[in-house]
Chain A
Amino acid sequence: MSRFLSKDFLSGVMFIAFGLAAIFFGRHLAVGTPVRMGPGYVPNMLGYILMVLGLIIAGIAMLKGGEPVETPRLRPIAMVTIGVVVFGLLFERTGLLPALIALVLLASLGGSEFKLTEVIGNIVVLAILCILVFKVGLGMNVAIVNGIW
């Protein structure tokens, strides 16, 4: 069981998957000849190399076993990713300030200690800093709050 959940085995599987994906999604690209290589020549080659390397890595891991993968804690990675995506969604529509508040709030929820007063303080400091650096200092053409500022 643990043999298949080792870091090495899973990364081998990952490389095989990337190799397969490269060959599959690049199947419509002309391969060409070694003299006149088509757009698909190098990607195809890399796809096969990745598959071979992945097989070797996974194979060695199967024989020798390896370090088990730590159970991932999903909250930090989920909150951080959601924070960045929400920032992207809000930035142009609502302006910098709402996007900033959402990002800092969500990212802080990803950590293990969350105190609302601290987070609000952090938001205030970062908002002032960002406005000074990006708006005043660098003259970036962004709205602080869309339609108002």
Chain B
Amino acid sequence: MAMFDHLALGLQVAVSLQNLLYAFIGCMVGTLIGVLPGIGPTATIAMLLPITFHLPPVSALIMLAGIYYGAAYGGSTTSILVNLPGESSSVVTCIDGYQMARNGRAGAALSVSALGSFFAGTVGTVIVVLFAEPLTQMAQKFGPSDYCSLMALGLVAAVILASGSVMKAIAMVFLGLLVGLVGTDVNTGAQRFTFDIPELSDGIDFAPVAMGLFGIAEIVVNLERKLTRSGTIKVASLWPTREEIRRAIPAALRGTGLGSILGVLPGGGPTLAAFSSYTLEKKISKTPEIFGKGAVEGVAAPESANNAAAQTSFIPMLTLGIPSNAVMALMVGAMIIQGIQPGPEVMTKKPDLFWGMIVSMWIGNLMLVIINLPMIGMWVKLLTVPYRFLAPAILLFCSIGAYSLANSTFHVYQVAIFGIMGYIFSRLGCEGAPFLLGLVLGPQMEEYFRRAMLLSRGDASVFITRPISLGLLIATAILLLLMALPNIKRAREKAFQEEEG
């Protein structure tokens, strides 16, 4: 049984003292940013990326992964206790979680969400283990045109996640692709859009872009809005009643299933998973009227779904090297910085890294239950730190982090420039995530596009004559069509309106 050998190898890597420590640090930091509104996992990972240079690759990735799924856990705490989602995938948990808290069931809501998340995380990890190998084998049959089409699918799918207009999100993808081309052309050595600035000849680093686009823009928007907090609710008992358990279990199971599937799809991810599973629960419920008034299903399902999706969204990144969302794009960057080319070779060339990371994800999920339930009081206290203290601190860490990327203040100025751009984008209702994905995929996609065209002697039909590529392009077209359909458009608009409300 090769699978068990892999897991044994992974376990060996994951339980080393150092890696356990970094998994723990990642989970703590993730929970922290999940709890603190005003900073999301994308900005945090961008901020901490430079620190990971000093770590061995496995530890670095374990820590970053911990931050990612830790945020999905932590976000639920504030959603339930103060009706303020710490990050976007916990937005729908507010609806019923906060109502449960007001009904005096805060403890039950917290434990249902933590245990549901743990269960979902476990299933998600198992799915990664089962699917990683076959998918990797499939990926090795991919030619340049197939890769190019796959990236197109990923980018289009990323557009679904954007909450504003589809057209604007598509334009943002193209803008990201364009900015990604800044630097030296690998085929000819020509300088493109570098304006004779030597630092630009290596291309634009995505870390300062993410810090500016997500970190600074978030801070400025929050400063404008004068982020205020409502009073917190006391947590009495953590135990759900028997009735609550009976209703939460099937909801958590459905959430896990839906979340796992949506996580694997490029462009899927925790936020989409949480929204879809909430909608599903409401639709199949015999008592839809209790939703919004403290239905335990409305907490169990989305919380399980977002965590399952957080796990399975690693699959396309690990097997194909294609990030499915902004955080995965940063993980790809972290791997490249560490000298690992993400893609199907990672599993065969670096099995310890691959399986170690996967096993550590499960261990991290276990740690999170412990971090989140008994230590809940501590996190609640943290919520009382006013934003006027946090904002300068986040800025400071971004600036130091940007500097240490290359020991150069040029990166600090880049953060400032992309901060202004991010602010303009957010004012115009254009989203940063599709832009960042385009930026990260741009150079690779151009590379594959040119190679595919060279191999086919300039015949673009290669993209539709190769079966894999054709299949992927058909999937892309279907996705685009689906988004244009009035029904889906309305559902999508409704989901995102709830998010803003």
Contact = CB atoms under 8 A, between A and B. Distances in A.
B174 A46 contact: yes
A122 B185 contact: no
Contact of B171 (A38, A54, A70): A54
Nearest to B389: A122
B412 A50 contact: no
Nearest to A88: B412
Nearest to A34: B458
Nearest to B423: A77
Nearest to A114: B388
Q: Is the interface of A mostly helix, strand, loop or mixed?
A: helix
A132 interface: no
A80 B453 contact: no
B429 A80 contact: no
A143 interface: no
A116 interface: no
Most buried by A among B175, B392, B395, B419: B392
A81 interface: yes
Interface in B417-433: 419-420, 423-424, 427-430
Contact of A57 (B165, B387, B420, B450): B165
**Interface size range on B against A:** 35 or more
Contacts of B174: 46, 49-50, 53
B393 to A, nearest CB: 6
Chain B contact residues, majority secondary structure: helix
Contact of A36 (B54, B389, B400, B454): B454
A53 B173 CA distance: 11
B247 interface: no
Contacts of B429: 7-8, 11, 67
A76 B450 contact: no
Interface in B399-440: 399-400, 403-404, 407, 409, 412-413, 415-416, 419-420, 423-424, 427-430
Nearest to A69: B427
Contacts of A89: 409
A114 B389 CA distance: 10
B190 A84 contact: no
Contacts of B449: 42
Given A73-B224, A122-B393, A35 B458 contact: yes
B349 interface: no
A87 B413 CA distance: 9
Nearest to A139: B54
A42 B395 CA distance: 35
B178 interface: yes
A67 B187 CA distance: 44
B413 A88 contact: yes
A54 B398 CA distance: 32
Contacts of A108: 388, 391-392
B190 A46 contact: no
A144 interface: no
B192 interface: yes
A57 B167 contact: yes
Given A80-B223, A84-B416, A112-B226, A91 B409 contact: yes
A126 B171 contact: no
A37 B192 CA distance: 14
Interface in B252-275: none
Interface in B446-477: 446, 449-450, 453-454, 457-458, 460
A8 B168 contact: yes
B188 interface: yes
B392 A107 contact: yes
Contacts of A47: 178
A41 B427 CA distance: 32
Contact of A35 (B185, B399, B453): B453
B177 interface: yes
Given A81-B419, A91-B403, A112-B223, A42 B396 contact: no
A81 B420 contact: yes
B419 A50 contact: no
Given A11-B429, A107-B391, A42 B181 contact: yes
A100 B400 CA distance: 9
A88 B188 CA distance: 33
Contacts of A46: 174, 177-178, 181
A104 B416 contact: no
Given A11-B430, A110-B223, A87 B171 contact: no
Contacts of B224: 73, 76
A90 to B, nearest CB: 9
A87 to B, nearest CB: 5
A26 interface: yes
Contacts of A76: 219-220, 223-224
A134 B400 contact: yes
A113 B226 CA distance: 9
Interface string B364-407: 00000000000000000000000111011101101110011001
A130 B389 CA distance: 15
Given A25-B195, A88-B413, 11 more contacts: A14-B430, A29-B192, A39-B187, A42-B450, A53-B171, A54-B171, A57-B165, A69-B427, A77-B423, A88-B416, A108-B391
22 contacts: A14-B428, A25-B193, A34-B453, A34-B458, A35-B453, A39-B190, A42-B450, A46-B174, A50-B175, A57-B168, A60-B167, A69-B428, A80-B216, A80-B220, A80-B395, A80-B419, A83-B392, A89-B409, A91-B412, A100-B396, A111-B387, A111-B388
Interface of A: 7-8, 10-11, 14-15, 18, 22, 25-26, 29-30, 33-43, 46-47, 49-50, 53-54, 56-57, 60, 67, 69-70, 72-73, 76-77, 80-81, 83-85, 87-89, 91-92, 96, 99-100, 103-104, 107-108, 110-114, 118, 122, 126, 130, 134, 138-141
